[in-house]
Structure 1
C-alpha cells in the first residue's frame, strides 16, 4: 500500500514539474513573440513614414521619439553599408561603413543583407551585438526592409538561450574535458574561453570532494561546497544533483537561479552529465 502511494505521489510530483516547465517555456515563447511583433510593427511604421517623406525621416529616426521604443529602435544603412540613421547607441556609426566594426564572420552575412532586392519585403536575420544597457554581447534578432538604396531595420535582443543550445554547450564541455581536463577547466574559469554564451555557462563539480572546480560566471564559487548550495527560496540544489549523478550518467534538475544576463531570479532547467570524476552541468533559463 505504501509503495503504491509513493508511486502515485511521485507521478503527481513529476507531472506538476512538467506542467511548470511547460508553462515557463510557453511564457518565454510568448514574451519573445511580443518582442518580435513589436519590432516588426515599429519597422512597418518606419517604412511607411520613409515612403512618405524620404530622407527627411533619417533625422527623426536618429533622435528620441516615436521611432524609439525601449531597446527597440530604427536604424538605416545605404546599400554600401554606411550607417545613415540610428535611434540607439549605433548613432555613433552614422557616416561610417558598418562592416568596419563587424567581426569577420558577420561581414559576409552583412554584405548579403545589402544585396536584398526591394521586392523581397520584410526580411529577418540574427547576429550578435553589444547591448548598450548591460554592455554584453548578446544575440539580436532583426527585421529589415529595403526601400530604394536604403535598408531600414529594427532589432530586439534574445537574452534567453534555448534548450538545444544548452545541450550543445554541455556536449562541447564534456568532450573538451575528456580530451584536456586541466585546459578545459582553465578555459571555463577564464570566462572568455568559449564556454560562456549569452545566459548559458558551464559549471563543474568534483563528485568526490563535492566542490566546484570550475564556474562559468562566478569564480567565487570555485572550491566551495556544492552540496550546500540552495536556490534563493531555500530549495536544495547541490545535494539532489549529486545524488542523481551518482545513480545515473546523465540527469536534469529544475530550480531557480539568477540569470547573469537579465539579472533576475528565474526558473532554470539544468542538464548534467558525469564525465570521469566530475559532474558537468549547463542550464537554460525559462523565465
Structure 2
C-alpha cells in the first residue's frame, strides 16, 4: 500500500518542469505546446536513422526544445524515458510505465495506448508544476514517431463557475439526446470533451445512489455515491439527490480535496436531473 501511495508523490517530485522561472508569465500556452511538439516531431523524423541525435537535442535544457515551462519528452512503448527537457539526468533510462498521477490515473499507459490506434493523442492528468510548486491539471499532446512517443504538455488553468455551468449544460444535452448509458461512456472518456482542466462530469442514478459516470476517476462507476461524505462529514451526494426530488436544478456547497492544490477547499457543484439520473459539474471556490 505504501508503495502505491508513494508513486504519484515521487513522480511529481521528479518529473515536473525545470524551475527556471517562478513567474506566471513564463507559462506555456496550448498553442505554444502544440507548436513545440510539431517542431520536435519534425526534428525526430529528420533523424529517424539516428534517434540519439534527437534525444541529445531534447535533453539540452538550454536548447531550443525547452521554452518557458514547456519541454519535450520521449518514451518508448515499454514506458522507458529516452529524453526529457525537464530533468534528463534523473529521467533518461527510467521506466515509468506504472507511474500514476496525483489522482491515481496511469498517464503513461494512456499515452502509449492512445497512440496505438492513431498517431496522436491528448492526455489529461494532475501533475506538479515546478513554477508554482503545486499539483495542477496538465494537458499533454503526444505523437508516435517510429518506435517512440514524443510529448509536450502545458499546465491548464483553473475553471470558473461559468465554465462549470457551461459544461453541465452540454452534459445535460448529451444525456437528453443520447440516453444515460451512451452519455456515461462519453463522460468517462478522460480524453473527451467532458474532462477539461479541473472540470469533469459526474452522473448518479437517483434510485441506486451509485455513480453512473465519474470523469475524473471512471473506476468509481457503479460504486456507492450516496454514502460519500466530505471532509466535514457532509453527505454531499445524498443532499444533491434530495434536492432534485423537488426541483430540476440545485446547487450544493461542500469541502473537497482539490487535486490542483492538494488542499481541502470549498467546492460548489451544479446538478440537474435528467430522467432518473443526477448530472453534475463542480468548481473550486477560491
TM-score (norm 2): 0.50
Deviations 1:261-281 (A, max 9, x none): 333221111100000110101
Deviations 1:162-190 (A, max 9, x none): 11110110010101011112221111122
Residues in 1 aligned to 2:230 and 2:128: alpha-carbon distance in whole angstroms = 29
Alignment partner, residue 175 of structure 1: 173
Q: 1:73 deviation in Å? A: 3.4
Aligned partners of 1:131 and 1:138 also within 8 Å: no
Which has the larger Rg? 1
- Residues 72 and 208 from structure 1, CA distance in 2 versus in 1: closer, same or farther, beyond 3 angstroms? same
Q: Aligned runs of 1:146-157 on 2, under 5 Å?
A: none
Q: Is the 8 A contact 1:138 1:159 kept in 2?
A: no
Cα distance in structure 2, aligned partners of 1:283 and 1:91 = 32
Q: Is the 8 A contact 1:205 1:278 kept in 2?
A: yes
Alignment of 1:79-118 (within 5 A): 86-90=67-71
Distance 1:209 1:74, change over 3 A: closer
- How far 1:74 moved relative to its partner? 8.1
2:171 partner SS: helix
1:162 and 2:154 are equivalent in the alignment = no
Separation in 2 of the partners of 1:198 and 1:243? 29
* Structure 1 residue 209 corresponds to structure 2 residue 208: yes
Q: CA deviation at 1:84?
A: 8.7
Alignment partner of 1:73 out of 23, 26, 29: 26
SS at match of 1:225: coil
The structure carrying a bigger helix percent of its residues is 1
Number of matched residues?
Answer: 171
Residue 227 of structure 1 aligns to a residue whose secondary structure is coil
2:184 is matched with 185
Residue segments in structure 2 that go unaligned for 5+ positions in a row: 1-17, 40-63, 74-83, 86-123, 130-134, 141-153
Runs of 5+ consecutive residues of structure 1 not aligned to the other structure: 1-62, 95-127, 140-155
Corresponding residue of 1:222: 221
> Quick one: distance in 2 between partners of 1:208 and 1:90?
48
